[in-house]
Chain A
């Protein structure tokens, strides 16, 4: 649906986006992840035709953004980071204006806008001046605007910024349901959000793609070792020795000492070996009770930091 090929964007001397390529399939929700200034918004602005690329090409539904911009723009609904709303208009006036701008036929506008407002939960606010709406509602109006004309592709730049937790969940569910019949690119720096919504993730750092895969594969691929934390009551030197004797343990260290004779250890084992059972029996045999045992699964957050720090070391 969307093909991005060797895309580069320079602002004078600065390369905001460096030679990135990826494709988004029809009906997919792709997460675009990266720290501030990584080039997320720039890439999105290029896909939507707001900014031209310095090099490379973007194709949406087979149309090149530079050669046939109007064909591409017809197929894209864009929600920029800052909702592009006119503050001196009411919600209804604004959405009507955008409908005209997107050439939605007059006789279809009313029913379409009614549906969209219902979907975004702004029906009750239709006659209010946008200037008087809260940030969350402006955000919803911005989202509603992108849905007008029923575009095949939705580009959402940080759609949940500035919303309260309940609204975030609502909007996420909305995006998920939209994903059934739209192709969506969504940028975010909130990792659980991407994990919850997206089928595939592109991690971008300093203008380059650092990783691209499903959230599950990303955590598998980078999770080279299983990590545990264990709080055990008993003398530290003996317990440490017992831990290191267990088959599969690669490394252990003291994390903290929460009590007088209890110590919390970090234990790293080989990826395919579950050491929790041998650990329990070893400690039980020696008479040192395990107070707490937790496995440290790698979250997308860890992966993200890892990918980005690896990048840093390379540079």
Chain B
């Protein structure tokens, strides 16, 4: 697993992808930081809420190549015929993408620190919101990895990832409109409701379990998709 992890992490940082995405993410955080914090609230958590939305765009780009590229380049054969098992390979890839995400999130922690020089200390609410943000990222990345397993075209993988995440993001708003059973399902998939708890300062076990199981389910589904494809076609 760690062999795959190191390899993927290297390929992120050997190419411009990681730097561009991290730079872009930090820049956007800075842009939101100014009006929200300086002008309006003096509180960092609303910025994180907005960054959750930005993540919808960043994560699919981060994860689009992670499995699709192997299929296209024929390196999938190497991974699947090695004695390393498939779940370990997928987990290695997941953690590599997560590390990039973790780095970009860690850099944005500079903002609350700057704030703490002028305002009060870093509140537990901010820490809680960051904790929630890290969990949200795990769920997003698991879904991104999943969408990358569906196709060998990176652009399509990114679009599937983005559309899927967007639907889950909007699920709260869509659920009452759709109604019935489908509405209920959408409610389960709503990533946003649970996230709001965190940045409102509520740290419950429920959302933590929710995000972790969401992540687990999509990693499991990714393994299943690849297994299934091997059984059904070439």
Q: Are A and B bound to each other?
A: yes
Do A51 and B230 touch across chains, with their CB atoms under 8 A apart?
Answer: yes
Do A97 and B234 touch across chains, with their CB atoms under 8 A apart?
Answer: no
Q: A145 contacts which chain B residues (CB < 8 A)? A: 78
Q: B10 contacts which chain A residues (CB < 8 A)? A: 89, 93
Instruction: Judge if B48 is at the interface, Cβ distance under 8 Å.
Output: no
Instruction: Judge if A88 is at the interface, Cβ distance under 8 Å.
Output: yes
B224 to chain A, nearest CB (A): 14
Count how many pairs of residues, one from A and one from B, have CB atoms less than 8 Å apart in the complex: 74
Determine the residue in chain A with the shortest Cβ distance to B88.
Answer: A101
- For B77, give its contact among A52, A78, A87 (CB under 8 Å): A78
B78 to chain A, nearest CB (A): 4
Given contacts A74-B83, A87-B73, A88-B11, A98 and B234 within 8 Å (CB-CB): no
Given contacts A84-B75, A85-B75, A145-B78, A103 and B83 within 8 Å (CB-CB): yes
Do A50 and B80 touch across chains, with their CB atoms under 8 A apart?
Answer: yes
Name the residue in B7, B75, B81 with the highest tally of chain A Cβ atoms < 10 Å from its Cβ: B81
Do A101 and B230 touch across chains, with their CB atoms under 8 A apart?
Answer: no
Instruction: Judge if A281 is at the interface, Cβ distance under 8 Å.
Output: no
Do B85 and A76 touch across chains, with their CB atoms under 8 A apart?
Answer: no
Mask of B71-109 contacts with A, CB within 8 angstroms, 1/0: 001111111111111000000000000000000000000
10 closest A-B pairs by CB: A100-B3, A84-B78, A82-B74, A101-B82, A73-B83, A48-B81, A84-B75, A74-B83, A80-B77, A97-B7
Do B75 and A52 touch across chains, with their CB atoms under 8 A apart?
Answer: no
Interface on chain B toward A: helix, strand, loop, or mixed SS? helix
Given contacts A86-B7, A100-B3, A78 and B73 within 8 Å (CB-CB): no
Q: A51 contacts which chain B residues (CB < 8 A)? A: 230, 234
Mask of A57-94 contacts with B, CB within 8 angstroms, 1/0: 00000000000001001101010101111111100010
Determine the residue in chain A with the shortest Cβ distance to B11.
Answer: A88
Given contacts A42-B234, A50-B230, A88-B14, A80 and B80 within 8 Å (CB-CB): no
Mark A residues whose CB is within 8 Å of B.
11-12, 42, 45, 48-52, 70, 73-74, 76, 78, 80, 82-89, 93, 97-98, 100-103, 145
A290 to chain B, nearest CB (A): 56
Do B81 and A73 touch across chains, with their CB atoms under 8 A apart?
Answer: yes
Q: Considering the chains assembled together, what is the distance between the CA atoms of A73 and B234 in angstroms? A: 19
Given contacts A52-B231, A84-B75, A97-B3, A76 and B81 within 8 Å (CB-CB): yes
Do B11 and A102 touch across chains, with their CB atoms under 8 A apart?
Answer: no
B230 to chain A, nearest CB (A): 6
Q: B76 contacts which chain A residues (CB < 8 A)? A: 84
Mask of B198-234 contacts with A, CB within 8 angstroms, 1/0: 0000000000000000000000000000000011011
Name 9 A/B residue pairs within 8 A (Cβ), A-sorted: A50-B81, A51-B234, A52-B230, A78-B77, A78-B78, A80-B78, A82-B74, A84-B73, A97-B7
Do A50 and B7 touch across chains, with their CB atoms under 8 A apart?
Answer: no
Given contacts A11-B234, A51-B234, A88-B14, A98 and B81 within 8 Å (CB-CB): no
A82 to chain B, nearest CB (A): 4
Q: Considering the chains assembled together, what is the distance between the CA atoms of A145 and B74 in angstroms? A: 14
- For B15, give its contact among A48, A50, A88 (CB under 8 Å): A88
Q: A101 contacts which chain B residues (CB < 8 A)? A: 3-4, 78-79, 82-84
**B27-86 at interface with A (beta carbon < 8 Å):** 73-85
Q: B82 contacts which chain A residues (CB < 8 A)? A: 73, 98, 101-102
Given contacts A50-B230, A84-B73, A101-B84, 18 further A-B contacts (CB under 8 A): A42-B234, A49-B80, A73-B83, A76-B81, A78-B77, A78-B78, A78-B81, A80-B74, A83-B74, A85-B73, A85-B75, A88-B11, A89-B11, A97-B3, A97-B6, A97-B7, A100-B3, A101-B3
